[in-house]
Every structure is written in C-alpha cells, then in structure tokens.
Amino acid sequence: MDADLLSIQEARDLVGRAAAAQKAFAGASQELVDRVVTAMARAASQAAESLARLAVDETGMGVFEHKVVKNRFASDVLLEYVLPMRTVGVLREDATRRVRELAVPMGVVGAIIPTTNPTSTAIYKAIISVKARNAIVMSPHPRAPRCTAEAARVLEAAATSAGAPPGLVNCLTRPSLDGTNALMRHRDVAVLLATGGGDMVRAVYTAGKPAYGVGPGNVPSIIERTARLEKAVADVVDGKTFDAGVLCSSENSVVVDAPVADRVRALFREERAHFCTPEEKARLERYMIPASGKGINPEVVGQSPQRIAERAGFRIGDRIKLMIVELREVGASDPLSREKLCPVLGFFVEDGWEKCCERAIALLRYGGVGHTLGIHSQDREVIERFFLEKPAFRIVVNSNTAIGAVGYTTGFAPALTLGPGSWGGSITSDNITPMHLLNIKRLGEEIRSYVDPLRDAPAASTPRGGDVAIDDRAVQSIVDEFLTGLRSRRR
C-alpha cells in the first residue's frame, strides 16, 4: 500500500484510540491526574539520557549533553511547575459576582513535534496535555520518527502503570505530510499544538482548528555599556551554543554598545569564539543561504562550527565554540542577520542603548517579532524602557535567552512552545501550559434584577405599528366597491 495512505490511516486510527481514552479519562479525579503526570515525568527523566542519544543519532543534530538537560527540563522542572495546578473540578468561585468556573478538558490534542527538539518537546506536550485530562497524538518530524515514538512509548507505559486508560499518549510511526494533514483536520482533534518552522505553523493555522503555534525567533541580545561584560558574553556564548543553537529562543545576533565593543570582542575570543574574516563570511553566506534567498540551509541546523566551516570551504580551530560574523545591515543585503539555528552569531555595534534598540527591533521584524529579546544592563531605567516599549513578549534580563525564555534560568512558565502573540501571528503571547488546554465552563447566578420598562405601560387602543384591525365584512365591502368602479370604467 502507498506510504502516504498508510500514514493517513495510522493518523485516523490513533485519533480514534486517543478519543476513546480521553473520554474515559475525562472523569478522572485530580488525585489520579497528578499521579499519572508524576509517573510520566519520572519515567521521562529516567530515560533522559537514552532518549537524548536516540535523538542525536537519528537526526544528526545538536549536543547529547544539552539534549539530556532539555529532557530533564521537560520532565523534572515542568512537573514541579504543573503539579500544584488545579485542572479538575471548580477552579475559581467569585462569591461577590456569584460566578463559578469549572475545568473542562478540550479532548484530543494534535501535536506537531520538531526535529530540533524531538524528545523534549514530546515529553513536554504529553505532560501538559494529560495534566488537563486530554489525550495527545503526536506527529514527529520525518527525520526523527524513532526517537519521538520511543519518548511516546515511555510516557504511555508510565501513564497506564499509574492508572490511566491505554491510548492517552500516541505517536505516528509513519509520519508524512498527508498523515500530518489528516491528523490536523480530523473531526475528533480538538486543538493543535505546533512547534516548528514558519511554513508549518501557517499550515496549522489553516487547518480549521483552534491552534497554538510558534515559528522562528531571530532573537537579538543587547550588551549595553553598563552590563557586567564577562557574564554578558558568557551568557550569549552559552545560549548560542546550547544544543548547537537549535532552540528558537537562542541568540542569533548580539548588538553591542560602542564604548564597550572592543572589550566585548576580546571577551568573546576568550570564550573561544572565532571572528570570521570578510572572505569567510562570504563563504558562509554562500553555503548557509539557499539560492532562493529564503530560510537557511537545513544542513547547517544543529551542526558544530567546525563542520559548518569545513563545508563552507575554510577551517577553524578544534576548540572553537562558535563563529561570529560582523554585520552592518538587517535583511537581504546581510542575509546572516536572520535566524540561523546553529553556532553562527551576528555581531552589530551601535552607539547608545537607543541605537542598539533600533537595531534589535529591525532584527525582530526580520523573522522574530513578538518572540524574545535579551538585554544585558545594570541600568534599571533602560531595562524598564525595554519592558514597556519593545516588540517582544519575553524580555530576558541578564541571562541567556536560549533557556531563559523557556523558563529554565528565569521564572517564566517552563515551556517548549512559546507564543509570539498577535505581532508574530499567534493567538497567544504566553508560554503554553496545561491551562491553555482547558475549556472553562461558567455558572452565573442573578446579581441584579431586570424590570421591563414596558411591562406596566397602558395598552394601546390599536395594534402597535399603526395597523388598524378590519373585520371580514369590511374587507368584502372594499373589494366589491373596487370591482364596481372597474366595471364602470370599462363601459
């Protein structure tokens, strides 16, 4: 049978399985829900290393040790955050307004899993879905079906061992575009949870379902003149090299305040950064930018700087952690100013935080508006201006943005799906949590009475609207009179 038809049939079968399981789980108590998600998180944490190894081996992307961190973030850190949440029964009562709010699960979640984070995103999406008493069907990237399916298997086994019905966690094993479309458009899928490239997110939003989606980030990080420079540079290097730069929240360019630019360059070199020559930059552009001028060459995603340099036609030292390209413009004239998803960092110099900010805004508008912006500064007024005015919904202060935006080094909600808000074409600007996968039913009791102002008005002598009641005889008389006149005129 055709592979696409097999994929479509598998999607339909798994949605049916998930719908049956979710119907059985919809009446679960909070105690059972919490027992199940705890078991899922602990099983995923125990499998963090084996799943990370599978992901690196299958996709050829990223850094094993960092993928372990992501898997444990999506299990241990996420569990700590979601476990206290009430997702069953009455969530809130307003005694004054006499309103009660009841948690109602959405149903079956259709989840798109990216190749850049194929196991950690699967863990995260499964846990937040089940915490809200939903089932989930995941569509892995075609380059990562085995590791994502193994993550789903671990989670499903843990859920059923803790008392959940079989079928809460599902994953396509024959992913294809047709199979994913069948999943997204299935009548029993209630909501879509998508993480991936811009084209994928746009497809999700045209599937006719409620959807949470996030695409590119192109995150800029500003090092302002009052920053603690050593920490700022170390943070940017840590963020850009975390899992070889595959997170959409990782730094793609640094914008440096002119008075500290020379010191920042020296610190980057101490952190084992390689500043590319103009010729090396040109070679990177030819290799990294497709002939169409759009996007990035997928062969560079999650690769080491040494491999990228070699394929571009030059060599760098074995100890180099990232490459830096000096840029002057944002856009097609300097194409490496876009999101790069690898250890290649853009470097701008501007004089004053206002100019730095203008450059950062241009970078956000070149593929990342609404997502994330980093600021390294000790000037609280500058930080406040960034918070109040800049077009990003996550302002990460004095930390690396890669794992700051997802809630690892900050107090943000732990999440691997980050909404860029309406500015970025999404329905939400939040880090997605179980609360986004609940419907809220409300009961409202009367708090003020209504009296119809016409209730006690005197009855009108004729029907309202000016119409006059005419009995049958009067109608017949009018007709007879009309016919008599008509005959007279004919004579």
Which residues are part of the catalytic machinery?
Answer: 248
CA distances (Å), origin 329, targets 280, 333, 432 = 18, 7, 34
With helix as H, strand as E and coil as C, how does the chain read? CCHHHHHHHHHHHHHHHHHHHHHHHCCCCHHHHHHHHHHHHHHHHHCHHHHHHHHHHHHCCCCHHHHHHHHHHHHHHHHHHHCCCCCCCEEEEECCCCEEEEEEECCEEEEECCCCCCCHHHHHHHHHHHHCCCEEEEECCCCCHHHHHHHHHHHHHHHHHCCCCCCCEEECCCCCHHHHHHHHHCCCEEEEEEECCHHHHHHHHCCCCCEEEECCCCEEEEECCCCCHHHHHHHHHHHHHHHHHCCCCCEEEEEEEHHHHHHHHHHHHHCCEEECCHHHHHHHHHHHCCCCCCCCCHHHCCCCHHHHHHHHCCCCCCCCCEEEEECCCCECCEHHHCCCCCCEEEEEEECCHHHHHHHHHHHHHCCCCEEEEEEECCCHHHHHHHHHHCCEEEEEECCCHHHHCCCCCCCCCCCCCECCCHHHCCCCCCECCHHHHEEEEEEECCCCCCCCCCCCCCCCCCCCCCCCCCCHHHHHHHHHHHHHHHHHHHC
| Cα–Cα nearest to 193, from 179, 170, 210 | 210
| Tokens found for residue 409 | 């080094």
| Inter-residue contact 419 to 430 (CB < 8 Å) | yes
Give the residue from 47, 108, 358 showing the smallest Cα distance to 222. 358
